[in-house]
Structure 1
Amino acid sequence: MLGMLFNDKECKELNYMLRKEMDEMLLDLMDHRLDQQIRIAIENRYRTVFRMYARFATPKELSKYARNSRTQQLNKF
């Protein structure tokens, strides 16, 4: 476990960066030209970034980026 202290401005910036990173990963996951191994790596990274974002975001904001297993299964094909 690693702890960090952020001021309000830094929290907002980190929140913004995490959202943009998740947006990019979601776009990549919709690209069916990507190899399956790459898609799996992106999904794993998305889960990590999502957990980080969950520490900053409200439940309403978090629901915009939540992925369910059905969506993940459909995107695999």
Structure 2
Amino acid sequence: MLGLLIHEREKLEIQYLLKREMDEILYDLEEPRIDHVVKRAMKERYKILFSLFQRIAPQNECVNYIISKNKKEKM
């Protein structure tokens, strides 16, 4: 287990970076030309990023990045 002390401004920057990366992954997951093996790796990466995001972001922002079952079926 690791601990981390950061300022509020740094926390906001980390939130921004995580959101940007998760948005990019969500966009790419909808691309039909991407192979399913690559998409599976992208989904695993998304899970890791989302778990980090949950630790620093307010719950109302986390709700926007939860992948629903409908979205999973499309991917």
- Same structural fold, with TM-score higher than 0.5 when normalized by the shorter chain: yes
Runs of 4 or more above 3 Å deviation: none
Q: Output aligned runs, 1:30-69, within 5 Å.
A: 30-69=30-69
User: For the aligned residues, what is the CA RMSD?
Assistant: 1.0
Percent identity reads: 33
> What's the CA shift for 1:68?
2.4
Deviation of 1:74 after TM superposition, in Å, equals: 2.4
Gaps of 5+ in 1: none
Unaligned 5+ runs, structure 2: none
Range that drifts further, 1-10 or 23-32: 1-10
Taking structure 2 as the reference length, what is the TM-score of the superposition?
0.92
2:20 aligned partner: 20
Task: Judging by fraction of residues, say which structure has more helix.
Answer: 2
How many residue pairs end up in the alignment? 75
How far residue 69 of structure 1 moved from its aligned partner, in angstroms, is 3.4
SS of equivalent to 1:2: coil
- Deviation of 1:58 (Å): 1.5
